[in-house]
Amino acid sequence: MRLVRQPNRRNWYIAWTENRRTKLKSTGCTDKSDARAVLDAYRKGEHKRSDRVGCSALIDRYLDARKDVMDYERLINAAKPLKVFFAEIRAENIGPETCRDYANWRGKAPGTMRRELAVLRSALSLAGYVQKLWLPDRVLPKTKYLSREEAFEACTHMSWHIRLFTQIALATGQRKTSILQLTWDRADLDRMVLDFERPGRRRTKKRTASVPIGKQLASVLRDAKQTAETDFVIEYNGKPIKNIRKGFDRAMERAGFPWCTPHTLKHTAISWMAEGGYTVDQISDLTGTDADTVKRIYRKFNPDYLRGLADHMDGELFDGIKPVQSSFRPTKRPD
């Protein structure tokens, strides 16, 4: 048995030979380390065991194995309703209909349902179960983002620590968790570089990066460092902040932009960069964002990158070709 990838498929597959034919079974994992765990369990035959514990315990095991991921708190929040609904249900009894029942019981948006059920799928895969589960269809990403004027207005309604968080997010396009976990020893203000790669963090598909910052943000950070009471760049009342969402939401309510979330700041930063004409690779490297994700935003907000191609095709079609008057004229259809 071995792990293989299939064309146009994100998941890793287990491959083996049976009767001179290659058999494939999805691990349900996009991360290779998780897929290896599924392969190990499959080799041991654990996926065939009937005396397994309930799903609640399997989810706990999964959470324990993922403690070093970037946004661990998000996994915990997604796991809470899963453990309530599935409780002691055996993993082998879970299928597409069970997942649909969960979605009806939960009654949340499709994106939320997909995120939570993906945690369940990963927990089952890590335990050696590879049955197919139902997930809601992917939803279109949000396209709304802050204008420069709206961002400035929002900052005037923020306390200093939320304003600093917002300024870093808009300047670098980094994720909320990366900014909240940033420590002063990774902020080189002389070179004006912020290193968002947390030491010891497990490598996942969520990329982090060392990124340059401008003089004005560096100056703001120097002022903040002089009064810092902790090792963390973003702090409040002498303590690091685990989740900034509540204070951020209140500030946005006061500013008149209740639709704006911390993740909207990342989307805003990428949109501004796309409007500025920077390349997909530049934006991807600076923000630590997958190039395919950047392309979806880039194509919407800066179609001018195709202007040269459009002009070329316009020339191919019309240059040197005299307009031809068609003898055909549409006629009125008979009644």
Query: In this predicted model, what pLDDT tens digit does every residue of 10-50 receive, in sequence order?
Result: 778 888 887 878 888 777 677 777 777 777 767 766 555 43
Average pLDDT over residues 214-239: 94
251 exposed, middle or buried (CB, 10 Å; 0-12, 13-18, 19+)? Answer: buried
Domain identity same for 110 and 157: no
What is residue 227's predicted lDDT score, i.e. its pLDDT? 92
Same domain, 45 and 157: no
For residue 267, pLDDT beyond 80: yes
Query: Total domain count for the chain?
Result: 2
Is position 132 within any domain? no
Q: Which helix (H) or strand (E) holds 318?
A: helix 307-318
pLDDT > 90 in the chain, percent: 32
* Residue carrying structure tokens 């979806």: 296
What is the pTM for the complete model shown? 0.61
**pLDDT recorded at residue 333:** 60
Task: Please tell me the distance from the alpha carbon of residue 161 to that of residue 202, in angstroms, as a whole number.
Answer: 28
Q: Per-residue pLDDT tens for 56-78?
A: 888 888 888 887 776 677 888 88
Mean pLDDT for the chain overall: 82
pLDDT for res 10:
75
Segment 144-202, tens digit of pLDDT: 889 999 999 999 999 999 999 999 999 999 999 899 999 999 999 999 999 998 776 55
pLDDT tens, 292-335?
A: 878 876 666 666 666 677 777 777 777 755 555 545 555 556 55
Domain containing 231: what range?
Answer: 148-305
**pLDDT of 79 higher than 70:** yes
pLDDT at 223: 94
Domain membership flag for residue 335? no
3-state secondary structure of 64: helix
pLDDT value of position 62: 87
Most confidently modeled of 71-80, 116-125, 130-139? 116-125
Residue 217: DSSP 8-state: H
Neighbour order of strands in the sheet with 210-212: 187-188, 193-195, 210-212
152 and 58: one domain? no
CATH classification of the domain holding 194:
1.10.443.10
Instruction: Give a yes or no: residue 331 inside a domain.
Output: no
Shared domain check, 164 and 122: no
Q: Are residues 30 and 119 in the same domain?
A: yes
Same domain, 218 and 257: yes
